[in-house]
Structure 1
Amino acid sequence: MLVDVLVAEIGSTTTLVNAFQGIDSPDAEQDPRDPLRYPVHWGQGQAPTSVLEGDVRVGLRRAVADLCRNKGIASLEYRDMLATSSAAGGLKMTVHGLVYDMTARAAKEAALGAGAIIHMVSAGKLRDRDIEKIREIQPNLIMLAGGVDHGERDTALENAEALCRLGLPIPVIYAGNMDSQDEIRSILQDSPMPLYLTENVYPRIDDLNVEPARRLIQAAFEEHIVQAPGMEHIRDMVSGPIIPTPGAVMECAKLLYEDMGDLMVLDVGGATTDIHSVTAGSEEISRISVSPEPLAKRTVEGDLGVYVNMKNLVALIGAEKLSEELGFPPEEAMAAYRSIPKTEKEFQFVERLTREAVLRATERHAGHIRYIYGPGGRSILAEGKDLTQVKHIIGTGGALTRLPCRVEIMEAIAKHNQAGTWLFPPETASILVDNDYIMASLGVLARKYPKAALQLLKKSLGNF
């Protein structure tokens, strides 16, 4: 059997493959009158990721074999293969800027939006202990920023010299004061650290410029993604891009934004909860905002997972309160629960944890209104991301595509804003579900086949 495109999602624990048919050239218009060329999600297979076996290709082959069993075929061939990866811990990054609330935060926004997992953020000059911490982390990429264009230069230059002391072949992305690019290049040219130069993430006061850095982070990730055993051979198999899985979801969110307007995407997983929002917010809120926010923003909450971190969520709710709500002690469900709920009690338990993860993660992602009292009376300020113009809330990931109460869980967001001080989406926002669970695959597909990816995504959302 020959399919047009096979997309592999190589995760830390599970490898998923999605097969697509009817995918034409990147610029071709899909013809709905020709069902053979209309894009369809043809099939899906999965298997445990095989990092521990020394080669992620083993898990990939097993996932393809599972797809073949699901479709009742002996073998599968494909015209194109694309991939996303979060194997071996995903894209680990450290970020270093000048001032925490300015260049360091801008660099962090760029890294998160690209799909990175941030293990360290620092502001100011790197000290010896900071260098040792970077050595312990062993990041895949290091981002160096600092200074608005034509502004302060010394901190970034001294930090580049400090990074040379690592003596490790870790790629460095410089996204700071453009006046320092030549000196940064000179400092790192004799080190084992590959250097990538891009536009300043914070070129002027209150001006975020994160998209060029995001694109470069993903390009550097693709070039150097050989951390998981066997990943170097995946590059030989893949005919298109390899990008971090969370970055692929962000790509999909931005594609949808161009078609249907302001939105947010919720992805509750076993270990983390990610939120992606693409919205400029309201003019009214922007006039009282204390700092700029990117159009496309991602946050990842490493303590809000419904399996690996279920004890954290139980503690946040309160074991006694949770027992009253469920009608049974949570320990009953936790004893047998193994990542996918099977019994009625397990479903009740996981749905309550998912609701808590969604609400807590939205609180951390969204901005809020602050009241300041001074000699002139009360002033109103806005801090953080404004979600008040969001028209669509989209659920993806295992929990929000498979749980029976997934829609009610997402509807609870607007109702949670009873005090009215959170910059949450309104109750009029529509609730949509990625029913085919293919947003990450379509995010990487969109790099090469954007029109087909958009059609497939809208079909997964219920032909929006």
Structure 2
Amino acid sequence: MKINILVAEIGSTTTVVNAFDGIFNGRPKFLGQGQAPTSVLEGDVNIGLKGAIESLKENLGVDNIEYDELIATSSAAGGLRMTVHGLVYDMTVRAAKEAALGAGANIKQITAGRLRRTDIKKLKEINPNIILIAGGVDYGERDTAIDNAEKIADLDLDVPIIYAGNIENQEEIKEIFKDSKNKLYVVENVYPKIDQLNIEPTRKVIQEVFEEHIIHAPGMTKVRSMVTGPIIPTPGAVMLSSKLLKEEIGDLVTIDVGGATTDVHSVTEGSEEVNRILISPEPTAKRTVEGDLGAYVSMKNVVERIGIEELSKRLNISEEQVNKLIENHKPIPENDMEKRFVEELALEATITAVDRHAGHFRHLYGPGGKKTVAEGKDLTNVKYIVGTGGALTRLPNRVKIMKKIAESNKGNDLYPNKEAKILVDNMYIMASLGVLSKKYPESAVMLMKESLKID
């Protein structure tokens, strides 16, 4: 069977392969999907990829598959490890962090001010895939970023460096890394003026660096040789889809409860009312990743948050039976009780992740009396809540889980309201369409609307 494009999504627990046809003639069609456990532990993610292709053949009822293009997303082996080093946490460091997370990176270290010996020690232990240096508004403070760049250059690490700080430092930074092993990328300042974020140029470069430099899981070298197009981080692909979808239907938040993490992507400017009292700026497109919230790898953390006794009540079974579910937990639930168990995990992960992502109202008291301010990301203008990932596309009560977001608002949270419409990525193809959109945006939009059942 000849197929236009295969998209491989290599996750931390599952590898999914999606088949698309009609991409080249403007009549895109989703043909089917195959999946298999990701084989990081076997030392070669190719095993999982081949297993997913075999699963696809079986689902399509064919003996052989040929394809014109193979593109991929990956979050296996912890994804893209980054460290971020800026000047003031609430300004340049936070802006750099937003850019990194939006591109699909996992932030392993954040520092503000000059790097200390303990910071340098931790940086070496992390062995990041990319180092991002920021600091200083344009034509403002210069010395901190220069000092940090010199210390990082002295480490002699073979790691790409992105500089996204004060533009006055650009020539100096180039000079510092001129003879080092590091490939240097100089981009526009992520925080050029007070209260102004400029994260898109950095976000774009992070994804380009990932493609060019990162082989971040066993066997990825072989995958790279098979892939004819781009490989981008899976969360970055979901963000691309979310941004594309926002242009079509309006403000939205996309939630992905995975095996290891729960990611929340929001694309909204927020409401005028909240923006007037917002303490500090927020990006239009924001991503947060919660490494302690997942339905498989991070399952025990979520169970701990809920409590065995509470789970016993919710599932209407004994605590002993709950412990058996935990002990025998699988990447993909099979029977009804296992699905109900994962639904409770997904509910806790969803509500907690949205709470961490969203902003809140705060009341300040001073000589003039009480003043209300807003802090963090405003989701009150969101028109759609989109569920993607295994849990929120496959569980029987996925819509109920997402409806609980608005219901859990304590009154001072900047959550989506109850009128927000729930959309489900029924075909589980949102990440695949993100990477597909880099070359075929129109086809990606058409397929996205079909998966979400939007007319």
Same-fold call, TM cutoff 0.5: yes
Give the drift of 1:331.
1.7
1:339 partner letter: P
Give the drift of 1:185.
0.6
Give the drift of 1:52.
4.3
Larger displacement relative to structure 2 (264-273 or 254-263): 264-273
Distance 1:433 1:237, change over 3 A: same
Matched, 1:401 2:390: no
Give the drift of 1:347.
2.0
SS of residue matched to 1:447: coil
Q: Write the distance in 1 (CA, Å) between the matches of 2:309 and 2:216.
A: 43
**Deviations 1:416-443, CA, capped at 9 Å, x for gaps:** 11x3210010100000100010111000
Q: Write the distance in 1 (CA, Å) between the matches of 2:161 and 2:20.
A: 36
How is 1:128-167 mapped onto 2 (pairs within 5 angstroms)?
Answer: 128-167=117-156
1:117 partner letter: N
Match of 1:340 among 329, 332, 339: 332
Larger displacement relative to structure 2 (16-25 or 435-444): 16-25
Q: Write the distance in 1 (CA, Å) between the matches of 2:404 and 2:216.
A: 40
Give the drift of 1:24.
1.6
**Deviations 1:291-340, CA, capped at 9 Å, x for gaps:** 00000000011111122222222222232223222222222422322122
Give the drift of 1:58.
3.5
2:51 — aligned with what?
Answer: 62
- Identity among equivalent positions (%) equals 61
SS of residue matched to 2:224: helix
For the 8 Å contact 2:79–2:216, the answer to whether it is kept is no
2:36 partner letter: A
1:365 partner letter: H
Give the drift of 1:54.
4.3
**Deviations 1:45-91, CA, capped at 9 Å, x for gaps:** 12233344444334323322221122121211111111111223211
Match of 2:304 among 306, 312, 315: 315
How is 1:65-464 mapped onto 2 (pairs within 5 angstroms)?
Answer: 65-328=54-317, 329=319, 330-417=322-409, 419-464=410-455
Q: Write the distance in 2 (CA, Å) between the matches of 1:396 and 1:117.
A: 19
Distance 1:341 1:236, change over 3 A: closer
Q: Write the distance in 2 (CA, Å) between the matches of 1:324 and 1:260.
A: 40
Q: Write the distance in 2 (CA, Å) between the matches of 1:14 and 1:160.
A: 38
SS of residue matched to 1:288: coil
Q: Write the distance in 2 (CA, Å) between the matches of 1:424 and 1:89.
A: 29
SS of residue matched to 1:80: strand
For the 8 Å contact 1:225–1:232, the answer to whether it is kept is no
Give the drift of 1:360.
0.8
1:243 partner letter: I
Q: Write the distance in 1 (CA, Å) between the matches of 2:304 and 2:216.
A: 35
2:441 partner letter: P
Distance 1:151 1:460, change over 3 A: same
SS of residue matched to 1:16: strand
TM-score normalised per structure 2: 0.96
For the 8 Å contact 1:65–1:75, the answer to whether it is kept is no
For the 8 Å contact 2:12–2:260, the answer to whether it is kept is no
1:451 partner letter: E
Gaps (5+ residues) in structure 2?
A: none
How is 1:5-44 mapped onto 2 (pairs within 5 angstroms)?
Answer: 5-24=5-24, 30=26, 38-44=27-33
Distance 1:311 1:226, change over 3 A: closer
1:193 partner letter: N
**Deviations 1:252-284, CA, capped at 9 Å, x for gaps:** 000000000100001111221110000000111
1:69 partner letter: E
For the 8 Å contact 1:263–1:393, the answer to whether it is kept is yes
**Deviations 1:142-196, CA, capped at 9 Å, x for gaps:** 1000000000010000000000122110001000001101100100111111101
Larger displacement relative to structure 2 (356-365 or 67-76): 67-76
Question: How many residues are aligned here?
Answer: 452
SS of residue matched to 1:229: coil
Distance 1:58 1:304, change over 3 A: closer
Q: Write the distance in 1 (CA, Å) between the matches of 2:147 and 2:171.
A: 14
**Deviations 1:394-415, CA, capped at 9 Å, x for gaps:** 1011111111111011001111
Q: Write the distance in 1 (CA, Å) between the matches of 2:381 and 2:187.
A: 31
Gaps (5+ residues) in structure 1?
A: 31-37
1:33 — aligned with what?
Answer: none
How is 1:45-60 mapped onto 2 (pairs within 5 angstroms)?
Answer: 45-60=34-49
Distance 1:405 1:174, change over 3 A: same
Q: Write the distance in 1 (CA, Å) between the matches of 2:445 and 2:326.
A: 39
After superposition, the CA RMSD in angstroms is 1.4
**Deviations 1:375-396, CA, capped at 9 Å, x for gaps:** 1011010000000000000101
For the 8 Å contact 1:277–1:297, the answer to whether it is kept is yes
Q: Write the distance in 2 (CA, Å) between the matches of 1:401 and 1:92.
A: 27
Q: Write the distance in 1 (CA, Å) between the matches of 2:256 and 2:68.
A: 30
Q: Write the distance in 2 (CA, Å) between the matches of 1:266 and 1:88.
A: 21
